[in-house]
Structure 1
Amino acid sequence: MVNLRAAMVGCGRIAADHAAAYTADPRVNLAAVVDPDHDRVRGHGPPVRST
């Protein structure tokens, strides 16, 4: 089985759909979600660490 690490750059209007598709596939590890607006990132992927 192929294991993939994915990152989402930008959490616009369809980010929830993309996050759901990544997390539904057992071959994919959603490793990072990035957006300048940290509030948009919450709920789409791994825990957020802000700097």
Structure 2
Amino acid sequence: MSLIKEPKGIDFIIQSPPLTEKERIEISEFIASRKAKKNVVKKIPKTKVIMKK
């Protein structure tokens, strides 16, 4: 991935419209669910492999 360089004398300004309260709640719930799933994966115990000689 490469960076976008601004041409001389031109500034790129990106301004997003403000989020509504509903959008903020949806984003917060999504982030919380992703974190919960991530923590579940970490709790799976590792198994040991025993090799006989």
TM-score, normalised by the number of residues in structure 1: 0.26
Higher helix proportion, which one? 2
Structure number with the bigger relative contact order (C-alpha 8 A, sep ≥ 6) is 1
Higher strand proportion, which one? 1
